[in-house]
Amino acid sequence: MRRICNNNADLVFEFLCNNQHYFSICTTFIVYALMYNMEKLSGSLYWNSAAIGASRWVVNIIVSIADYKLHWFGRKLINILSMLFTLASLGVMAVYMYTGHGGSILAIGTTVAIAMCSQLFIAKYLMVNELYPTAVRNVAVSAVSTMSRIGSMFSPQLFYLVSDFIKKNTEFGFNCR
């Protein structure tokens, strides 16, 4: 059944809902790929883990207070802001890695990306519960969960493939910088 969209926000929400399985795989790719490679960040692994946990808690509290107090702050805005912050932090990290000036910027970018992806994990299950009727809700939740598991299976392989690709190309004289 196709619903009629009244404005651009409805179009964005329909796009998010129709592609939630794809977003589930991408969110899981981002989170687990960054988590599996935390040893490459500057600083202690334990302090970085504590900073990520604290940032996730702070973001969750801020979003829950905003959702409770502000009537215009809803799931659509949470999804859009989380995706934009994640994309921006990954873009900044890519630029700094390309120029070779990583350091603490990579740790901050990883923390922001993982904290924002935690909101995407929460919002995708809430959206599934709100969108589908009771008869197919369990099937929809299981499909989203399955896509998340598929993303978590393949995310460690992503960095291994990229590192092998870079090693092979630098052996033949092609440099990434």
What structural domains and CATH numbers belong to the chain? 22-171 (1.20.1250.20)
* Stronger pLDDT, 29 or 146, i.e. the higher one: 146
Would the CA dihedral through 96, 43, 118, 24 be positive or negative? positive
173 band by pLDDT with thresholds 50, 70 and 90: very low
Q: What share of the chain is helix, strand, coil (3-state, %, to 5)?
A: 85, 0, 15
Give the mean model confidence (pLDDT) for residues 52-58.
Answer: 90
What's the rounded mean pLDDT across residues 8-15? 59
**Residue 174 scores a pLDDT above 50:** no
Q: Which has more pLDDT, 42 or 71?
A: 71
Q: Which DSSP symbol is given to 2?
A: P
Q: pLDDT tens for residues 74-90?
A: 877 888 888 888 889 88
pTM: 0.70
Which pLDDT band, with edges at 50, 70 and 90, does 57 fall under?
very high
Q: How confident is the model at residue 1 (pLDDT cuts 50, 70, 90)?
A: very low
158, 31 contact by CB (below 8 A): no
Q: What is the mean pLDDT of the chain?
A: 77
- Quick one: average pLDDT of 3-13? 55
The pLDDT value given to residue 65: 93
- pLDDT-based confidence at 14, cuts 50/70/90? low
Distance, CA of 129 to CA of 133 (rounded, Å): 8
State pLDDT tens for residues 102-121: 677 888 888 888 888 888 88
